[in-house]
A and B are shown apart, each in its own frame.
Chain A
Amino acid sequence: MRTMIRALGAAAMATSLVALASSAGAAMLGEGVTVYMQMGGQPGEPPVLPRTNGAKAAAEALGVKLIEQYSSWQAETMLAQFREALAAKPSCIAIMGHPGNDAFADLVADAIAQGIVVTSGNAPLKELQEKYQDRGFGYAGVDLYEGGAITARAMLQAGLKSGDKAMVFGNFSRGDRGLSDTGMADTLEKAGITVDRVEMSEEVNGNPPLSIPQLVAYLQQHPDTKALGTQHGGITPLLPDVAQQAGKASGELILGGIDTDPKTVAAVKAGTMTATLDQQLYLQGFLPVLQCVLSVKYEMGGFTTNTAAGTLSPKNVDALVPLIDQGIR
């Protein structure tokens, strides 16, 4: 056993030395580039993890020095962290749009004036993007409203007819946080569905399992509800549990959600979940780093990428399961 470990160790050392040698030979594209990147929530959180992994992978592949910033989704903290980044004078700062165009305007102007590239991801900043696109301000993310709409279309395709009743559980009154919920609700309504928009409490926002009895009670009280949708990444995996506890047979309710939590994926596979929006968060981390390198080195303009390819459904789910486990999808 010991000899085996020693042998393995020696082999590992040899392999890494070879790798080092070969990489030392060619200069990496992003050499000398420092990027400060806002990740959003807390390290390891489901909506944050694939973005972080994407950013790290891009940084490693390109030879970029990446500094991650975590703000627990607080807009104020994001602004404060931008100031910190500014003080460190990196090559590039990648931000998220939660604080809004107005809050960021002066800070971004300062950064650009000092020759720092600024780009964005996950939540959009349309005004700033238009203003500074030629300086490398790009966007890699989902248009929140559009994301909700995409999910709604998948739900409609699964068999909703005009006149059916649906309930969307979201953050309608909380500004930008509710954009995707609104997109979903609007799209359903345009197709002739009667939509009940129900606001979730902050407690449920932070503690998804508590939503289950609430949704069960709603479904009990409104038994003719045909579809249930949400754009909350923590509640989506629980929708099949809600359906079961409300006494609905598998597939009886059309369920629409967001993100690729392993439990959600398993439910899609089993057919108990209709569709979930795949934000491809990995790209939202990878692309801004790439943007930084290309703009810093070659003064390329910002490019906009809508990372949401579509929804995860029983048809495409199998291939993605192992990738989801690794935090890539």
Chain B
Amino acid sequence: MTAVVNGKARRASAQQRSLIARVLATEGVPILLVLIAILVALMALAPNAFLGWRTYVSVLINYQPQIICALGLTLVIASGEIDLSFPSVITLTSLIFAAFYRFDNVFWLNWLAEGRTPEEIKAMQAQLSWLGVVAALGIGAFVGFINGALVAWIGIPSIIATLATAFVWRGMAVFLAGGKQFALRDFNQTDLWDITTGRLFTGLFQSGDVVLRKPDGIPIQAVIVLALAVLLWFILNRHRFGESLLFIGDNAHVARVVGIDVKATRVKLFTLMGALAGLAGMFLTMETENFTTTQGQASLLVVIAAVFIGGTSIFGGSGTIVGSYIGILIVVMLQIGMVAMGLGGDIADMVIGVVFVLAVILHMLVERPERLKGLGFGNR
């Protein structure tokens, strides 16, 4: 009698355990719990900042370029490579877009402005900015292609190749800028701005009678980037190209043996990354309506950290888009939280470092719970 009862009980708890285990094994859940824990802590420590919507909307407005790069980098790292040149690509494509809008300000386009009235120039600005979109994305893809060619056809390890090209793209940006900086005045009056950088649901965010150039609302860039994240998830996990990346990252020899064209896939990968960096650069300029020659430079380590915090493995063969998206949010919320409390950026860096290490340990444990036993926990 007792034995039967015990047997039933054991089977039931086995089912329960597997449900929890299954939920934890779903992509992104462990790191999402970390993010939620951090947000709860911040809401307690800095309630005015984290219980209202303004802080979150501000993040959505200003962090899209970093998110785009983290998403692209996830694919790169999953295939066993790294790209250190994306900050410079951002600078370059940021400039390209700014230059098309302010063609009167760059030595290689200002011939278009000769003999035109200010009104004509303004109209041309709006038109040329569309061309600027094509140019920025195209140039981004092109420089990515060069990165890919160096890695795949010439065989330079990606860490070295992209480190080297980072200098080239940045220098090119400064050169083409004629050493100047640009303000994209009145860009937010154009149709292009409405489509890419405008605000949605402004009705929900009315803040009195204040007339603002950029109304409060959900930035369209955030929506676009979210859609991009979904697309990239499907590409990595459900598309032939993504599967090739996973196999190459797992073991390039195996990939070759099962018939994957490793060289061509690598070139496509870096071209894609370049195009994404181009999108990021463009979005950055569109939102800040400004270009300076140091645009985008310092984000390298934080974006890379976010990808690893999110759970993508440095060894290649797997990658999580969901994790990288959450990883950026974790890093950002920690940075913002520290400043909101009046603590310096250096304290934020320390906290981020600790969270980084803990997150990586968490991912290792989720992947292989046996490691816990090795540490002496759980004697069953």
Q: Is B197 an interface residue (CB 8 A)?
A: no
Q: What sequence of 0s and 1s flags, for each residue 178-195 of chain B, a beta carbon within 8 Å of any chain A beta carbon? A: 111111010000000000
- Say yes or no: A44 contacts B55, CB within 8 Å: no
Q: Which of B262-308 contact A (CB under 8 A)?
A: 284, 287-290, 292-294, 296-299, 301-302
Contact A214 B179 (CB under 8 A): no
Question: Is A261 in contact with B344, judged by CB distance below 8 angstroms?
Answer: no
What's the least CB distance linking B179 to chain A, in Å? Answer: 3
B214 touches A244 (CB 8 A): yes
Q: B49 near A221 (CB under 8 angstroms)? A: yes
Cα distance A249–B49 in the bound complex, in angstroms: 18
Known: A203-B302, A207-B296, A247-B207. A262 touches B344 (CB 8 A): no
The reply to whether the CB of A107 lies closer than 8 angstroms to some CB of chain B is no
Name the residue of chain B whose CB is nearest to the CB of A41: B294
Q: Judging by beta carbons under 8 Å apart, are A221 and B48 in contact?
A: yes
Q: Write the B50-80 contact mask toward A (1 if CB under 8 angstroms, else 0).
A: 1010110111011100100000000000000
B294 touches A214 (CB 8 A): no
Given B59, B210, B301, B339, which contacts A198 in the complex, CB threshold below 8 Å?
B339
Across-interface contacts of A247 in B (CB, < 8 A) = 54, 207, 216
Q: How far is the CA of A225 from the CA of B335 in the complex (A)?
A: 20
Q: Are B294 and A45 in contact (CB under 8 A)?
A: yes
What residues of A have a CB within 8 angstroms of the CB of B89 in the complex? none
Q: How far is the CA of A327 from the CA of B180 in the complex (A)?
A: 7
A205 contacts across to B, CB distance below 8 A: 298
Query: Which of B55, B213, B288, B349 makes the CB contact (< 8 A) with A220?
Result: B55
Closest chain-B Cβ to A52's Cβ sits at a distance in Å of 7
Give the CA-CA distance A213 to B59 in the complex, in Å: 5
A196–B339 Cα distance when bound, in Å, is 11
Q: How many residues of B contact A (CB 8 A)?
A: 60
A245 in contact with B57 (CB, 8 Å): yes
Q: Determine which of A43, A206, A217, A262 lies in contact with B298 in the assembled complex, contact meaning CB atoms within 8 Å.
A: A206
Check if A163 is an interface residue, CB within 8 A of chain B. Answer: no
Q: How many A-B residue pairs have CB under 8 A?
A: 161
Contact of A223 among B48, B182, B348 (CB under 8 A): B48
Contact B49 A207 (CB under 8 A): no
Residues of chain A lying within 8 A (CB to CB) of residue B25: none
Q: A201 contacts which chain B residues (CB < 8 A)?
A: 335, 344-346, 348-349
30 contacts between A and B (CB under 8 A): A42-B174, A44-B178, A44-B181, A52-B179, A173-B344, A173-B346, A199-B343, A200-B344, A201-B344, A202-B298, A202-B345, A203-B302, A206-B297, A207-B294, A210-B335, A213-B58, A213-B59, A213-B61, A213-B336, A214-B335, A217-B50, A217-B55, A217-B58, A218-B339, A220-B340, A234-B294, A237-B183, A246-B54, A247-B207, A262-B185
Binding site for A on B (CB under 8 A): 46-50, 52, 54-55, 57-59, 61-63, 66, 105, 174, 177-183, 185, 207-208, 210, 212-214, 216, 284, 287-290, 292-294, 296-299, 301-302, 332, 335-337, 339-346, 348-349
- Given pairs A49-B181, A217-B336, 13 additional interface contacts (CB within 8 A): A42-B174, A42-B293, A46-B181, A199-B346, A202-B298, A202-B349, A214-B339, A218-B342, A220-B55, A221-B341, A237-B183, A247-B216, A249-B210
